[in-house]
Amino acid sequence: MPALRGTDAAGGAAPPVWIVTGLPGSGKSTTARALARRLPRAAHIDGDLLQAMVAGGAVGPGEAPEAESHAQIALNLRHQCLLARSFACAGFVPVIDYVVVARQMLDLYRRRLRRHKLRLVVLSPSPETVARRRAERGETGPDRWADLGAWMKADLGADGLWIDNDGIGVAELVSRILAREAEAAF
């Protein structure tokens, strides 16, 4: 077996880092994975999988105690950025998939990924589509994220590329995202 070695991207500019976000049930994981697969060299970084790595003492977003929930979100963002920098250094385009609800989170990405061009895609389907997707995943009970869409629009503002992905197949959605990459810059 040949010796394993690091594969730093030689010369050239660092690849962009894509962040695909939206409400739970908006299609961000499916879209991020499809976007990564469409690119020649890319890695899908799933923030929910990073959160699931916390085996003992896990406190998810929106859960109590609030201070611990915020600390674990910050830890998750830090690890997303560490992975993104590592993949980018090896010449892979990182595609992060996570619910980004506030400008403060975007600012963390900007600081931690300051050497990279950032691309933000916000999936914004109708509340009915989100509810249907949640039901298809077996999620029942009250939607604790119901007000999140309005909050995201107010706090994230015009940053990134906002797409109403109702009725759009994943392949077509990824094509539209790539065609409008300049609008995703933030």
Given this model, what pLDDT does residue 25 score?
A: 87
Pick the residue with more confidence: 9 or 159? 159
Res 182: pLDDT: 97
Q: What is the pLDDT of residues 115-145, one digit of tens each?
A: 999 999 999 998 888 888 778 888 766 566 6
d(CA 185, CA 182): 6
Say what the pLDDT of residue 1 is. 53
pLDDT at position 147, please? 74
| 66 pLDDT above the threshold of 80 | yes
The pLDDT value recorded for residue 179 is 98
Annotation: CATH topology of 17-184: Rossmann fold (3.40.50)
Res 139: pLDDT: 75
Where do the structural domains in the chain lie, given as residue ranges?
17-184
Please give the mean pLDDT across all residues of the chain: 90
∠ CA 112-113-115, nearest 5°, is: 125
pLDDT of residue 133: 79
**85-113: pLDDT as tens digits:** 999 999 999 999 999 989 999 999 999 99
